[in-house]
Amino acid sequence: MVFAFLINTLLPGSSKVLFYQFYGQRALPKDDSDITFEEIRTGRKNEIHTIANEVHSEYQFRRSVSNRTVEEDVQRLNSDDMLPDFDTGHFLIHEGHNFPKGSFVTWMGAGFTGFALVCDKTESRLTAESVLRLLVRYLQEYVRVLNQPAETGIRSDRILLVLNKFLPSGSLLVMNHRVIRHLEKELDSFMKNI
């Protein structure tokens, strides 16, 4: 089960969340009688911002020790319309979050944009990374999220279509080439009608 998907900026300085989607119903605290919808919403936003900041921090660290630059990623996107080499990683959710204990985050980043899945501890990290790569590939194709991250909010309907096809209801699916091709055709058909 995936608990959340998010897209955030990876610019130097602080990270900004561009899009997020929660899946499933997480249990509320036992003394939830006084908790309002607004407090739940604020708590979820804070969780997402904390995860985005951790992804940002890990990405900046990896960039500082590698010999690749962000400008190389951007040039590759603009010149041959191929996906750049992504920095990827996983980290455990710290205690104190409202996500279940032992949950982990799988993230990918390139250029100025990062992507993350918050997954249940029982999920495979390899499957999570594989699904995240597919999501990024199709988000780039239909939303141009790596080239134009600032316009992500405007195209949230397209993002939700991609998520619904490759991450239905937050379920990580093991997909072979034939299944991916079938979902790709369905997605292409939906996108033509938007």
pTM > 0.85: yes
Distances in whole angstroms, Cα of residue 5 to Cα of each of 131, 164, 168, 170: 11, 12, 12, 9
How far apart CA 190 and CA 193 sit, in angstroms, is 5
How far apart CA 155 and CA 172 sit, in angstroms, is 23
Alpha-helical runs (H) found in 12-155? 37-65, 70-80, 125-143
Give the three-state DSSP class for 106. strand
Backbone angles phi, psi at 104, to 5 degrees: -130, 160
pLDDT recorded at residue 25 = 65
Strand order across the beta sheet in which 104-110 lies: 17-22, 2-9, 113-119, 104-110, 87-92
pLDDT recorded at residue 30 = 45
How far apart CA 159 and CA 154 sit, in angstroms, is 10
DSSP, res 123: S
What does each of the 194 residues of the chain score in pLDDT, given as a tens digit? 999 999 999 988 889 999 999 998 654 444 555 778 788 788 888 899 999 999 999 998 888 887 777 677 767 766 656 777 888 999 998 766 678 888 999 999 988 899 999 999 999 999 999 999 999 999 999 998 888 888 888 889 999 999 999 999 999 989 989 999 999 999 888 888 87
pLDDT recorded at residue 95 = 66
pLDDT recorded at residue 78 = 67
Backbone angles phi, psi at 46, to 5 degrees: -65, -40
How far apart CA 122 and CA 132 sit, in angstroms, is 17
For the domain spanning 2-192, the CATH number is 3.30.450.60
